[in-house]
Structure 1
């Protein structure tokens, strides 16, 4: 970053600040992460880099979600979402919709979570992002499971399982198998649960 500062490369400084923020977030130092993200946000706004601004807003939202400040997380995710829609980045729009859905899911606003997950699913289907489709299907299944609609949950999990296997996502497959087993356990079919 020293070299970027010496040559006045604001874009390079912005990217570096964001990367440092990510490191601090991942090493459990959310306040330090926020300091770097906030500085990055100011620079990305100054130079008019809307994509970098949205990435940073999203990352700030992630930190607030991690430190259990869901309303602040939603505020930053919504700002990022507006920018992704403005610049037409459908993939990142979908990812941000998923993040918003996850916050609503966490705070128990399940209908809102479902709305955002369904929008996420729709966009991922439009752009052909199989991994994104898989994630959205799993999340929708989680909501239906939580609201007491096990058959609907199973429908979404089965779709997710098929895609996870098709794309070779063994981790996603394991999560979905576990979720299916959980549904069967909850509806009083422990033998069926053991199969998963």
Structure 2
């Protein structure tokens, strides 16, 4: 398999990944075997001679997919390599994205305080470097972490701010995701 073929095949992953409304909207898979095959394909590509930029992409992808598979420690191993690549390149955008991904893996590993620190770092990187593209993601993931921690009022604040940014972007999928998070946190407040 070539990297270009792998990238094309990734779009099919969305067919068997979903947000579980019974588990704080965590990403899960309806087809673990197929997801493991995608991971295996990516790990194979990491073993052959590929471009450095492709390595960053693959480490990030494998890290995310291991998180979805419920293996956050493996996810963290790959995502920390990914972060090293971003830092070595001095690529603030990649560093920010990876901080958010690491935060998510830590959250799935039930290390909420550490996850929150990573979301805060990502938020600060966005603000300090005018990376508006990822500001809503930092807020959304921070809000979801706060929601899991039972800090519901703070979570609502993050979601409302993320929603404003997403409405400005006009991305209906992201807007819908934030609205779902707001609905869930409101249900949790009633319970």
* TM-score normalized with structure 1 length: 0.75
Q: Is the 8 A contact 2:103 2:114 kept in 1?
A: yes
What is the CA deviation profile of residues 109-161 of structure 1, one whole-angstrom value per residue up to 9, with x for unaligned ones?
A: 11111111112222223343334111111111122222222221122122112
Q: Which runs of 5 or more structure 1 residues have no equivalent in the other structure?
A: 2-12, 190-196
Please state how far the C-alpha of 1:23 moved relative to its aligned partner: 6.1
- Relative distance call for 1:68 and 1:42 in structure 2 (3 A) is same
- Which structure is higher in RCO with an 8 Å CA cutoff and minimum separation 6? 2
Give the C-alpha shift of residue 17 in structure 1.
5.8
1:40 alignment partner, SS class:
helix
Which structure is higher in strand share? Answer: 2
1:27-75 deviation per Cα after TM superposition (whole angstroms, max 9, x unaligned): 752343334323321234xx6x322222121222223223222111110
The DSSP-based 3-state class of the residue aligned with 2:190 is coil
1:150 and 1:50 map into 2 onto residues whose CA distance is 41
- Computed over aligned residues only, the root mean square deviation of the Cα atoms, in angstroms, reads 2.6
Q: Which whole-Å CA distance do the structure 2 matches of 1:36 and 1:181 have between them?
A: 37
Match of 2:108 among 106, 109, 117: 106
Partner-residue secondary structure (3-state), 1:56: helix
Q: CA deviation at 1:21?
A: 6.5
TM-score, length of structure 2 as denominator length: 0.76
- Is the helix fraction higher in 1 or 2? 1
Which is greater in Rg?
Answer: 1
Say if 2:31 is the partner of 1:43. Answer: no
Q: How does 1:15-30 map to 2 (within 5 A)?
A: 15-16=3-4, 18-19=6-7, 22=10, 29-30=34-35
Identify if the C-alpha distance between structure 1 residues 37 and 187 changes in structure 2 by more than 3 Å, giving closer, same or farther: closer
How many residues are treated as equivalent by the alignment? 174
